[in-house]
Structure 1
Amino acid sequence: MSGPALVALAVLGSVLAVALAAAAVAAPPSRRRRMLRILRSYDRSRNAARAVAAPFGGRLRPQVVWALQRLGDLVTPSPVQVRLLRHLDFAGNPAAWPLDRVIRGRIVGGLVLGLVFYVIAHGIALRYGLPGAVLGVLLGLHIPDLLVYNAGVKRQRAITLSLPDMLDALVIGVESGLGLDAAMAQVAHLLRGPMPDEINRVLQEMRLGVSRSNALRALARRTTVRDLKTLVTALVQAGELGIAVAGILREHAADQRTRRRQRAEEQAQKVTVKLLFPVLFCLFPVIFIVVLGPALIRISGSL
């Protein structure tokens, strides 16, 4: 294929990609998803990051949105949707990325990468066009999954880092005479971060009529942090057995401070190993050149 034809095809693909991205990002969710979003608004904290407005002023034709959604539902079976919902829970259910938008993003990613890979493979050889397009579609379908998974991993890491401070604040509130619910409300109101957001969601579920045990168990299902799961199990058992939570919180707070110090020491011990390869491959060659370079020049001149 000639050069102008490839350029024209690439421009056409870019225009199509922009149109599909606009349809996926700016399109309104379905009526069912809007109702679920309204219900989930009770679970979000006041200090959670708000979704920014879509960069596209108007909304595209509902037929395009419906077509993208239907196609996304066809290529996203129920087990994949369940996995996406779980990963969205780990990521904090960001308001800018409901499940419908993630599904539409899978279609957009598949079409865009399929077109790009087709252009590249077709430019290399004609017979590589179709396999390249298929490979691009398969990769594009998994890009939103990877983004959601990465957001969940980062948020769970942030929860791990903020858990000791949250426990210290709970211990201070409980030992000052507050009940567990009041201390949790103070933590959710005064602190910032993913852990206070989860505490606020637990409180919102309790205001909606969910028992404290069930709300805490739901919190344990929304996280992968083992220390938080252990804390939730201890609080649920204390509530069912009528045990005072002050001592439990104090012990967990001390244990979390110790674990945080151990994690810091572990990361410090890894620094020497991580510096080994950069020193071997970047620093030592430069030293050898500086030290042996003049000697090699003199030897070559004498010979």
Structure 2
Amino acid sequence: MSVNSARSLGDFLRSRRARLDPASFGFSGRRRTPGLRREEVAQRAHISPTWYTWLEQGRGGAASPDVLDRISSALMLTDAEREHLFMLGLGRPPEVRYKSVDAVNPRLQRLLDSLETSPAIIKTATWDVVAWNRAAAVVLTDYGSLPAKERNILQFLFRNPAVRAKQHDWESVARFVVGAFRADVARAGLASEVAALVDELSSASPEFAALWRDNDVLSHGDAGGIKRLMHPKLGSIELEYSAFSVDGRPDLGMIVYTPIDKNMAGQIGALCSQI
């Protein structure tokens, strides 16, 4: 860690410590300065008071992710502050914390709904679709008609014949989805959480089982940015797609599919107005 980084880390720790109310943590006694004492933070973080003091003084060396996590909890840091702590202490953000999600906040849903002719979805790190707009329901899949446990992209790609029939090149799409899913799961540290899904799909679909054994790892950029579909009402469709992370929720991703042809965009809009 550079001298400047160590100094910035110390300044940040002191500022977060000073804002905490000792009484709310059961600490009493007169204080000359606001906030918790260094030894109280060290006690809450289960680390040496001497080493914590050195960290604030910019001479403690590099702390491990586990220690930074414990300091983060001790100081009651927000997710944004925790990420900043890791950037100062290790030069990288912390690993993604996966949170179970059933829906998104109204602000994010309004963003999806504003994309009237571009299908858009929000998916979790385990590829469960938790939000979508009307265009997505019309062009991709009517997620609202599916039970929540079946709104998983891998589930309906490998087990829903109607979804499979829409794909212009199902084999290529399936290979990309499995490879990108594997990368997302590993990045989020969720191998154990998806083990049951992988076992279920491996038993139900020999094609999935073969792709999973291949151990390919892919990103959204590896698919060329174009999705081609055969739609029962719109015919052949070409969509450009872009993937975005959700601010403050690195475990969520937004995918937006934009019609390449303006006439197709108009047709999608007309079809959306009928439902």
Greater helix percent: which structure?
A: 1
Tell me which structure has the larger Cα radius of gyration.
1
Select the structure that is richer in strand: 2
Tell me the TM-score normalized by structure 1: 0.25
